[in-house]
Structure 1
Amino acid sequence: MSTVELELDATLAPALRQAIAIAQEQDLPFAGSVTPAQAWDLVESGQATLVDVRSAEERKFVGHVPGSQHVAWASGTALNRNPRFARELAALVARLPESGDRPPVILLLCRSGKRSALAAQEAAKAGIEWVFNVSEGFEGDLDAGQQRGHFNGWRFHGLPWVQD
Structure 2
Amino acid sequence: MVEDVAPPQAFQALTDNPDAVLVDVRTDAEWTYVGLPDLSPIGKRVLLVQWQAFPSGAPNHNFVEQLGASGVTRQHAVYFICRSGARSLAAAETAEQAGYHTVFNVNDGFEGPPDADGHRGNVAGWKADALPWRQR
> So what's the TM-score if we normalise by structure 1?
0.73
Q: 1:59 aligned to 27, 31, 35, which one? A: 31
Q: What residue number does 1:147 align with? A: 119
Give yes or no for the alignment of 1:138 onto 2:110. Answer: yes
Task: Measure the CA separation in 1 of the matches of 2:29 and 2:55.
Answer: 7
Tell me if structure 2 keeps the 8 A contact 1:63–1:162.
yes
Q: 1:159 aligned to 106, 126, 131, which one? A: 131
> Which runs of no fewer than 5 residues in structure 2 stay unpaired?
39-44
Q: 1:83 aligned to 57, 61, 75, which one? A: 61
SS of corresponding position for 1:93:
coil
Tell me if structure 1 keeps the 8 A contact 2:6–2:107.
yes
Q: 2:72 aligned to 93, 98, 116, which one? A: 93
Amino acid at match of 1:75: A
Amino acid at match of 1:43: L
Give yes or no for the alignment of 1:112 onto 2:97. Answer: no
Amino acid at match of 2:13: L
Give 1 or 2 for the bigger CA radius of gyration: 1
Give the CA deviation at 1:77.
2.1
Higher RCO structure (Cα 8 Å, ≥6 apart): 2
Amino acid at match of 2:62: R
> Which runs of no fewer than 5 residues in structure 1 stay unpaired?
1-29
> So what's the TM-score if we normalise by structure 2?
0.86
Identity of aligned residues (%): 38
Task: Measure the CA separation in 2 of the matches of 1:47 and 1:135.
Answer: 20
- CA RMSD in angstroms comes to 1.5
Task: Measure the CA separation in 1 of the matches of 2:28 and 2:103.
Answer: 21
Alignment deviations for residues 85-111 of structure 1 (CA, whole Å, 9 cap, x no partner)? 1121133323xxx8xxxx110000000
